[in-house]
Amino acid sequence: MKAILVPEFVSDPSTLQPSDVSPPTPKPDQYLVRVTHCSPQHADILHAQGKHQNNNAKKGWCFPPFVLGYDFAGVVESLPSDGKRSVFKKGDQVFGAGIGAFAEYVCVPERQMRRIPKELSSETACAMSGQAVSYASVVNVAKVEKGETVLVSGASGGLGSVCCMVAKAKGARVIALAGDSEKAEAMRKDMAVDLVLLMEGDWIQKVMDFTNGEGVDVVLDNTGMVNDAIRCVAYFGRIVVLGFAARKGVMEDVKMNKLLLKSVTVMGYRFGESGRRYPKTLEEIWDGYLNMLKTGEMKAMIYGNYDGLEDVGRALKDLYDRKAYGKIVVKVADAQEVAKL
C-alpha cells in the first residue's frame, strides 16, 4: 500500500512523499480500516521531526521507520480477531485516531474510533476527529459558565477554533488570538467570536480594556503563553494548558508568586490519557461534542483542498507555515471504492 513513511526524522516534513510499504497487520484487538480521509495536526510535524514527547526513547512509541499520521476517517475492512463482540462491522464508516493514518490502511483499536453520525460527511468527521479535547477543555476542565469571558490562544488552529465555538455555544464572551493580520481578518468574518486580537503590541491591554480592567475568567492556552495569560486573567481566574504550538519545544518558566497574587488556577489537560483512565467520562465528552456537531451548533472549518497522499507534504508545510485556518483534510480515497486488501 501507499503510506507516508518516515525513514528517519526530517527537519522539513513537506519533503515527505508516499512510498510503497507492506500493509499493517492488525493486533488481535484492532480493526483494519481503509482510510478515506486523513487530517494532519501540529503533533504530526513534531513526530516527523523527532521533537515530540512520543519520540522519547524511554516512554515513546514513535521511532523511525514509522508511518506518520493520526486522525482519519475510513471504512472498516476487517474486525478484531480476539473473539470479543465487535461494535463495528465490515463496511461501517468510522473516524478516529490511529497510529500511521497517513496511509491507505491503518490498524485501530475499538476505543479509538467512532461511527460517523449520519448527519456528518466523512470529511467533516475527519476534520473534527481530533478536537473533542477542545470540547472537554471548555466543558469538563475549565467548566466555562454563561456570561464568563474566555480568551483562546492559537484560535485559528484545530483545537483553538473549536475551543472558541464551544465556549460561544456555552454562552461565554470569547476573545480569539490570531498570529497575523490576514488570519485575524478572516477570523473576524468567519468566526462568531466577540473580539479577535492580533497577538502583537499592546494586545494584553486590549484584553484588559475589553473586560473593564478585570481580566478574563478563563484562558484556554494552545500555544504556550501561561505568563501572558497570568497578566490578563482575572482574580481567581483559570488557565487551561492544552498545548505548546508556539514554543518550539522550549517550555516556559512561570513565577509562582504571580499565581498566588491573583489566586490563579493553572490546569493541564491531557485528553488521551484522561480518556484511558476515565472511559465513562470520555463517552460523555464524545456524546456532548458530537451532539453539538449533529445539531449544527458547531461547524467544521476546513481549509484548502488536498487530494491524495501526495498532498500530505504540502498539507504539513501549510500547517507548519501557519497558513492553515481551521483544519486541513486530505482526501485519500472514495468511501465507495472497492477495497484492495
Ligand X SMILES: NC(=O)c1ccc[n+]([C@@H]2O[C@H](COP(=O)([O-])OP(=O)(O)OC[C@H]3O[C@@H](n4cnc5c(N)ncnc54)[C@H](OP(=O)(O)O)[C@@H]3O)[C@@H](O)[C@H]2O)c1
* Cell 455555544, located at residue: 169
Question: What is the H or E stretch that residue 178 is in?
Answer: strand 173-178
- Stretch 275-314: interaction string toward ligand X, x if CB under 6 A: ----------------------------------------
* Cell 508511518, located at residue: 67
Cβ proximity to ligand X: between 307 and 321 the closer is 321
Position 96 contacts ligand X (CB under 6 A):
no
Position 42 contacts ligand X (CB under 6 A):
yes
Position 67 contacts ligand X (CB under 6 A):
no
Beta carbon of residue 182, minimum distance to ligand X (angstroms, whole number): 9
Distances from the Cα of 189 to the Cα of 37, 115, 158, 182, 232, angstroms? 28, 32, 17, 11, 25
Single residue of 66, 88, 271, 289 touching ligand X by CB under 6 A:
271
Which residues in 101-113 are b (16+ Cβ under 10 Å) and which e? bbbbbbbbebebb
Single residue of 67, 193, 229, 245 touching ligand X by CB under 6 A:
245
Cβ proximity to ligand X: between 206 and 322 the closer is 322
d(CA 203, CA 268): 24
The alpha helices in the chain, defined as continuous H runs, are 42-49, 122-128, 132-136, 158-169, 181-190, 203-210, 226-232, 256-262, 271-277, 279-294, 312-320
Position 246 contacts ligand X (CB under 6 A):
yes
- Stretch 189-228: interaction string toward ligand X, x if CB under 6 A: ---------------------------------xx-----
Distances from the Cα of 230 to the Cα of 187, 225, 263, 316, angstroms? 24, 9, 10, 32
Cβ proximity to ligand X: between 14 and 223 the closer is 223
CA dihedral (332, 333, 334, 340) in degrees, to 10, reads: -150
Positive or negative torsion for Cα 324, 54, 245, 9: negative
Position 164 contacts ligand X (CB under 6 A):
no
Position 112 contacts ligand X (CB under 6 A):
no
Single residue of 322, 333, 335, 339 touching ligand X by CB under 6 A:
322
Per the CB < 8 A criterion, the answer to whether 123 and 41 are in contact is: no
Beta carbon of residue 299, minimum distance to ligand X (angstroms, whole number): 16
d(CA 212, CA 199): 19
Question: What is the H or E stretch that residue 105 is in?
Answer: strand 105-109
Cβ proximity to ligand X: between 44 and 148 the closer is 44
Cβ proximity to ligand X: between 122 and 222 the closer is 222
Beta carbon of residue 255, minimum distance to ligand X (angstroms, whole number): 22
- Stretch 120-159: interaction string toward ligand X, x if CB under 6 A: -------------x--------------------x-xxxx
By the criterion CB under 6 A, which residues form the site for ligand X?
41-43, 133, 154, 156-160, 178-179, 183, 222-223, 242-246, 269-271, 319, 322
